[in-house]
A = this chain, B = another copy of it.
Amino acid sequence: MTRFALTVEYDGRPFMGWQRQSHGPSVQQTIEDAIHAVTGERTAVHAAGRTDAGVHGLAMRAHVDIEKAIAPFRLMEAINARARPAPVAILDCIEVAGDWHARFSCIRRSYEYRIVNRRAPLTHEAGLAWQVPQPLDATTMAEAAERLVGRHDFTTFRSAHCQADSPVRTLDLLSVERDGDRVIVRAAARSFLHHQVRSMVGCLAYVGMGRWTPDDVGQALAACDRARLALNAPSDGLFFVRADYPAGS
């Protein structure tokens, strides 16, 4: 039995999300079915983050245990060949120790949220960004983002379906940068609550539109009340970009 760590890119548009679902296609099922076709083994693929329907992965990390003797490069190529035409690609595959766990060993998760700030509809990027027609003030959004960085009770920014034991999380990074008509929000933390990034982005967009002040964001956070949320941003613009693990693991 060998444990393999995978780096996975996927386009979330056709999927119900990362996690296997009875009612539609998932990234997990696509990879597990490809592995079954290659090895004959039914084995679970565990990811650093179980992204929602429509959320994308640029470099999701995952692991899988395989009995059959197979070189990492061959495994990667075989999964990629079998996954077609589903938009899932294994970018990297390495052998790891049997106690390395894509989810439980992960010490930092990084997301990027892409807003296209213009009146015109999206073309190439439909489903890959959030089109916001009202002009956004990215400088004030960045100021508001600072109110959320640090260790807080993020109940306001947590889905009603969140299964985490505690609403307390430590947000290491929440930045907002404008590049032409793009506004990019970057977030990093050891872990996030369900919908936390999209909920934070929704409130920052409210600030960018001038409907909220940075103080309103601070007050919504302090209220620890989901009813105080301004807006949950759509899944389209959200990308899981990176998972970090302890050095040498």
Using CB atoms and an 8 Å cutoff, list the residues of chain A in contact with chain B: 9-11, 56, 76-77, 80, 84, 87-91, 118-124, 126, 128
Residues of B contacting A88 in the complex (Cβ-Cβ under 8 angstroms): 123
Looking at the complex, which one of B56, B90, B121 makes contact with A124 (CB distance below 8 Å)? B56
Looking at the complex, which one of B9, B10, B121 makes contact with A89 (CB distance below 8 Å)? B121
Could you tell me if A11 and B80 are in contact, using CB atoms closer than 8 angstroms? Answer: no
Could you tell me if B128 and A124 are in contact, using CB atoms closer than 8 angstroms? Answer: yes
Residues of B contacting A84 in the complex (Cβ-Cβ under 8 angstroms): 121
Could you tell me if A123 and B77 are in contact, using CB atoms closer than 8 angstroms? Answer: no
Could you tell me if B123 and A9 are in contact, using CB atoms closer than 8 angstroms? Answer: yes
How many whole Å from A90's CB to the nearest CB in chain B? Answer: 6
Complex alpha-carbon distance, A40 and B90, angstroms: 51
Looking at the complex, which one of B11, B90, B118 makes contact with A91 (CB distance below 8 Å)? B118
Residues of B contacting A9 in the complex (Cβ-Cβ under 8 angstroms): 120, 123-124
Looking at the complex, which one of B77, B87, B120, B122 makes contact with A90 (CB distance below 8 Å)? B120
How many whole Å from A28's CB to the nearest CB in chain B? Answer: 15
**Cβ-closest 7 pairs across A and B:** A87-B123, A89-B120, A11-B123, A11-B124, A91-B120, A89-B121, A9-B123
